[in-house]
Chain A
């Protein structure tokens, strides 16, 4: 059996986790550039290009994303170093149209240096209007990729310069026009159709993230700039308490209910239990939670901060209990409904089996049959379900935590999603998938323990 589990860990769980990590990481590649929001968060209105550059460096945004990339021949193998989205997309489109990187980069560089000239503070203010107008035109040029649009902007920029006395502005524009025409005359769009394979080695963003993750370094949150690890630790507190209580409650109530319903199959009790459970099963718990708050049964404000006098865990717990009752109720009942229906079905299935008939024929009392033969066997599928509980324990319920204002994992995850806080998102998704996979393993073990006939060989 040990061999079986080792096999499962090495050939199933580790590849699965790696695949999940690649999937999640590559999905994030289409994210918006986080630099601006981080910079605004850290430096406020003082944020400038130098800060942004530093943040990009810290996030290794100039590194390639994955171990290799497949694109077309037109891309230089350092294209990933252009990180600014507003810069990358127009260049990418130009490449897609004309396919000659050297000329396009020359044109782009000329535009950039021209912008620097325009941005330089001037002594005489006579040309102020022309220069600021020209500045906005050139900025537009850096974003434009359609031939007609670029020619149009160039034409009007030149008209602007005609009026001004400074000839070097016109010269610069002429230079840009020449470079642009150069792109068009030497275009090689067919190169777009030749695939190219680039190998980047281990110096890439995914590798760095994975290695850090294995060392339990989840990075810093984009939003709060605090380590994700400590934030996760803080947020798991209430989630685990609530989930644990509700899962235990659900099992404690669901099993007897399912057994009663199964024993009295077809009776009025069974029908009543069935209808109630079915209704609960389809009742969206976020709706019920909102209704409870609206009709004044629950404090909507959420958990108040702890007063410092309370020290022990239980004291804290009881002081919060009135706030926790309704969340626990809303948390428990869907699982309760699901579990008791499963238990009932499983009991009914076992009751049909031949060994129950044998036990009856032996003259055992109904009580003994149910307790010793049926219940134990019916428990097997329920026990195996316990493995699925592990991720739930940690994930909490996003909607309920938001409704009741509980500062738990669900709320944390939701905030991360809303603010595109990818380090947090990755960490949570990865931890949850690891827990899910571990849950499968626990299910297997529980299955083997609860049913001695099962021997894992494979």
Chain B
């Protein structure tokens, strides 16, 4: 334990020496805060308001309605007479239009009551405030980048770990296991998902959808437990209990090759074509599904060396199960290079999301994503502010993540040890 801590503190110390990377990290943290509090920074709803003698907080009410699956009725807070009001920094929401100011550049004279209502980053053709769009775009870009990469990391670490740790001849099961497990995989899919497809897809709200999915997962889990018990039972018969190899490495390497054989953007477009228009959630999942292979290959390569190290042998000798050795001992020691891939991957995902919004393939409201605002700017070339700001934002964010990746590469490289 002591050893591991000192390794990470060493990495931290190395990373701190790279000034550009540290600055980038602070910028990214700042952007994440903007993204997280986007609703409180740019919104037409006030944060706290005393309206008709009643104290209320429209933003929190909106959150409450969202949780209950209700639609918040529109109320024109911008022109409402309030006794007391605290408005967000930018008192506009990217979805709402300003009906008076349209097509205003950041420097032109705007028809607003005070500087508080000024459109600092200009207005689009339809009256959407660009500053508000930029703030909400930060949320979209970062959440796509981070969640997509988390999905990719989950799949990549799991599959890459399995392939690298077990190789082609380490994972063994009995003959009957080799028969029952694949069969039960199909059965689990049948009862868990196929039979319940309408109960899942007809779910009225997000909560009931998650509930239905949870029931499906329970069913799948139960079926696998039955399969496992069956295998235990049949193992008493010597004929069935004979051990066979599972060539995990071959199987997983083949899957990786299939995914690598299709160019990323083409793959994503093919998915998007099936979805008509991709929601932000779809885009996260698709990017995650497409980009896990790099992480998997990294982990696999790393584990191929780790698994023959003495401390893994010691763990085996202590009688720990193979799975425990893999998840508790082998994988944590192979994780550090994944951080590099993750950071470059987030940069690439942000670019991809912007590209998809730019191509109008995402169902995110066009004024709420950087790529979407860029798209608005493309349709009207003389509105330079529609192109400049989101482009700069993409550029800065992507550069920061790339610099962090670079810094991590240097910090984690043992060759650079002084």
Which residue numbers of A lie inside 8 Å of B, CB to CB? 12, 15-17, 19-20, 23-24, 27-28, 30-32, 70-72, 93, 96, 192-193, 195, 278-279, 281-284, 286-288, 290-291, 293-295, 300, 352, 391-392, 395, 398-399, 402-403, 413-414, 416-418, 420, 422, 425, 428-429, 432-433, 436-437
Check A290 against B378 for contact (C-beta < 8 Å).
yes
In-complex Cβ contact of A193 among B191, B266, B382, B399 (8 A): B191
- Which A residues are in CB contact (< 8 Å) with B391? 284, 287-288, 290-291
A147 CA / B98 CA spacing, docked (Å): 47
A72 CA / B374 CA spacing, docked (Å): 49
**Residue of B whose beta carbon sits closest to that of A341:** B406
For B, the interface residue count at a CB cutoff of 8 angstroms equals 49
A-B contact pairs, 15 of them (CB 8 A): A17-B261, A24-B262, A27-B274, A70-B186, A282-B395, A284-B355, A287-B374, A290-B387, A294-B377, A399-B355, A416-B273, A432-B266, A433-B261, A436-B261, A436-B263
A32 CA / B274 CA spacing, docked (Å): 8
Does B354 interact with chain A (Cβ within 8 Å)? yes
**Residue of A whose beta carbon sits closest to that of B347:** A282
Number of A-B pairs, beta carbon distance below 8 Å: 130
In-complex Cβ contact of B265 among A30, A71, A282, A398 (8 A): A398
**A167 CB to nearest B CB, Å:** 38
A279 CA / B270 CA spacing, docked (Å): 31
**Known contacts A294-B377, A425-B273: A414-B263 contact under CB 8 Å:** no
**Known contacts A12-B257, A20-B258, A192-B195: A287-B359 contact under CB 8 Å:** no
- Which B residues are in CB contact (< 8 Å) with A93? 198
In-complex Cβ contact of B254 among A15, A28, A293, A300 (8 A): A15
Does B384 interact with chain A (Cβ within 8 Å)? yes
Check A413 against B266 for contact (C-beta < 8 Å).
yes
In-complex Cβ contact of A293 among B198, B355, B359, B381 (8 A): B381
- Which A residues are in CB contact (< 8 Å) with B314? none
Q: Which of A282, A293, A395, A429 has the most CB of B within 10 A?
A: A282
Check A417 against B265 for contact (C-beta < 8 Å).
no
**Residue of B whose beta carbon sits closest to that of A422:** B273
Q: What 7 A-B pairs have minimum CB-CB distances, sorted nearest first? A: A287-B391, A433-B261, A282-B399, A417-B273, A282-B398, A19-B258, A417-B269
- Which B residues are in CB contact (< 8 Å) with A436? 260-263
**Residue of B whose beta carbon sits closest to that of A434:** B261
Does B10 interact with chain A (Cβ within 8 Å)? no
Check B274 against A291 for contact (C-beta < 8 Å).
no
**Residue of B whose beta carbon sits closest to that of A72:** B195
- Which B residues are in CB contact (< 8 Å) with A193? 191, 195
Check A399 against B263 for contact (C-beta < 8 Å).
no
A291 CA / B273 CA spacing, docked (Å): 28
In-complex Cβ contact of A279 among B354, B359, B388, B399 (8 A): B399
Check B399 against A294 for contact (C-beta < 8 Å).
no
**B251 CB to nearest A CB, Å:** 11
- Which B residues are in CB contact (< 8 Å) with A31? 273-274
Check A30 against B274 for contact (C-beta < 8 Å).
yes
**Known contacts A12-B257, A294-B381, A294-B384: A24-B198 contact under CB 8 Å:** no
Does B402 interact with chain A (Cβ within 8 Å)? yes
Check B258 against A413 for contact (C-beta < 8 Å).
no
A72 CA / B257 CA spacing, docked (Å): 33
**Known contacts A23-B258, A192-B195, A291-B387: A281-B402 contact under CB 8 Å:** yes
- Which A residues are in CB contact (< 8 Å) with B351? 284
- Which A residues are in CB contact (< 8 Å) with B269? 398, 413-414, 417, 425
Does B306 interact with chain A (Cβ within 8 Å)? no
**Known contacts A281-B402, A414-B269: A286-B355 contact under CB 8 Å:** yes
Task: Please name 5 further chain A to chain B contacts, defined as beta carbons within 8 Å, in addition to the given A284-B394, A300-B381, sorted by A numbering.
Answer: A24-B262, A27-B271, A278-B403, A290-B377, A432-B262
**Residue of B whose beta carbon sits closest to that of A96:** B198
Check B378 against A433 for contact (C-beta < 8 Å).
no
Does B187 interact with chain A (Cβ within 8 Å)? yes
- Which B residues are in CB contact (< 8 Å) with A420? 273
Check A432 against B190 for contact (C-beta < 8 Å).
no
**A101 CB to nearest B CB, Å:** 16
A431 CA / B198 CA spacing, docked (Å): 36
- Which A residues are in CB contact (< 8 Å) with B263? 391-392, 395, 432, 436
Check A291 against B388 for contact (C-beta < 8 Å).
yes
Check A16 against B261 for contact (C-beta < 8 Å).
yes
| Residues 353-386 of B contacting A (Cβ, < 8 Å) | 354-355, 358-359, 361, 374, 377-378, 381-382, 384
| Residues 401-415 of B contacting A (Cβ, < 8 Å) | 402-403, 406, 415
**Residue of B whose beta carbon sits closest to that of A27:** B274
A96 CA / B195 CA spacing, docked (Å): 8
Check A16 against B191 for contact (C-beta < 8 Å).
no
A93 CA / B197 CA spacing, docked (Å): 10
- Which B residues are in CB contact (< 8 Å) with A428? 266
In-complex Cβ contact of A70 among B190, B270, B377, B384 (8 A): B190
- Which B residues are in CB contact (< 8 Å) with A281? 402
Q: Could you mark each residue 198-219 of chain B with 1 if its beta carbon is under 8 Å from any beta carbon of chain A, else 0? A: 1000000000000000000000
**B28 CB to nearest A CB, Å:** 13
